Amino acid sequence: MAEGGMNKNSGPLWLKKTWDKKPRVGIYSFSGCAGCQLSILDLEDELLDLFNMVDVVSFRMAIRGPGGGEGGYDVDIAFVEGSITNEHQIEELREIRAGAGFLVALGSCACFGGVQASGNHVPIDERARVVYGDTELVYRHLPSKPLSEYVQVDLEIPGCPINKYEFLEALKYLSVGRTSVIRPVPVCWECRLRENRCIFKETGEICMGPVTQGGCGALCPTFGKPCDGCRGPVDQANIPSEVSLMEEYGLDAETIERKFRIYATEGKGFKLDWKRENNSASGGGGK
């Protein structure tokens, strides 16, 4: 087990290196669209160097062999994408955790349950009936949950999909025995650095930039689209203030609730218990 792990306030930490020359890296996948793994394969210019820098011993999407390469779960660094939606996955995740020195949750499914958690307020059996009808299914479904629901996660790289350069950065840090840090600034901050015009203010289209973890470089607002909060809540996000802004723009409670329930439904702060605790949208904050 690595020491420390992600700590937003104290900067990079030294890990206990469990390797001599190159770390053994495994890339694993649960429920999701595989977009985070694909983003790794999309590092076309860096891909071959990356495979030289570390020993990628498990990567089912790219390598044929038992367990996706000879590595199985015995790795120094495990990157895990996807959310957990059934009991087999819980078992496999625990095996990965047991085998890995350092475990990184890759993308918003692994960090917050992903879009498939956006329906978690509806009982799972009811949802299954919508999709499969009344057929008896062999496997029981569970509501979509992030990895941290079941195991300790040492670093979270959010995003739908991840910013592939954040992954590369993390891998570089980790391979020399340090943790990388995702700076706790909101998308709004990065948007201003890019000198974008503020969509929220100018058009009244609801933007989640003020409360969403940055690191994407404010990509969506840069392309004329308001932030949808795919990277989950930023540390110390002022949710009540965002909610009162939404109310000012005339959104009803249902629509506001829906805005927090897209990619990061299970993200702390976006889990909107504020509706009950905090009707006037002042004080308090998210759960």
3-state secondary structure of 162: strand
For residues 47 and 24, what is the distance between their CA atoms, to the nearest angstrom?
16
8 belongs to the binding site for other proteins (CB under 8 A): no
Site string for other proteins, 49-68 (x = CB under 8 A): --x----x---xxxxxxxxx
222 belongs to the binding site for other proteins (CB under 8 A): yes
Site string for other proteins, 68-107 (x = CB under 8 A): xx------------x--xx-xx--x---------------
Closest by CA to 101, choosing from 145, 67, 71, 63, is 71
Q: Which two tokens stand for residue 240?
A: 């009540």
Burial (CB < 10 A; 0-12, 13-18, 19+), residue 192, is middle
212 belongs to the binding site for other proteins (CB under 8 A): no
CB of 282 to other proteins, least distance (A): 27
Site string for other proteins, 243-282 (x = CB under 8 A): ------------x--x---x--------------------
Give the CA angle between residues 191, 44, 170 to the nearest 5°. 55
Q: Is the peptide bond before 161 cis (omega within 30 degrees of 0)?
A: yes
225 belongs to the binding site for other proteins (CB under 8 A): yes
CB of 185 to other proteins, least distance (A): 20
Tell me, rounded to whole angstroms, the distance of Cα 78 from its chain centroid: 15
For residues 15 and 3, what is the distance between their CA atoms, to the nearest angstrom?
5
Q: Which two tokens stand for residue 176?
A: 């020399």
CB of 283 to other proteins, least distance (A): 29
In terms of CB distance, is 144 or 179 closer to other proteins? 144
CB of 30 to other proteins, least distance (A): 5
42 belongs to the binding site for other proteins (CB under 8 A): yes
Per this entry, what is the length of the chain?
287
Member of 224, 236, 273, 277 binding other proteins (CB under 8 A):
224
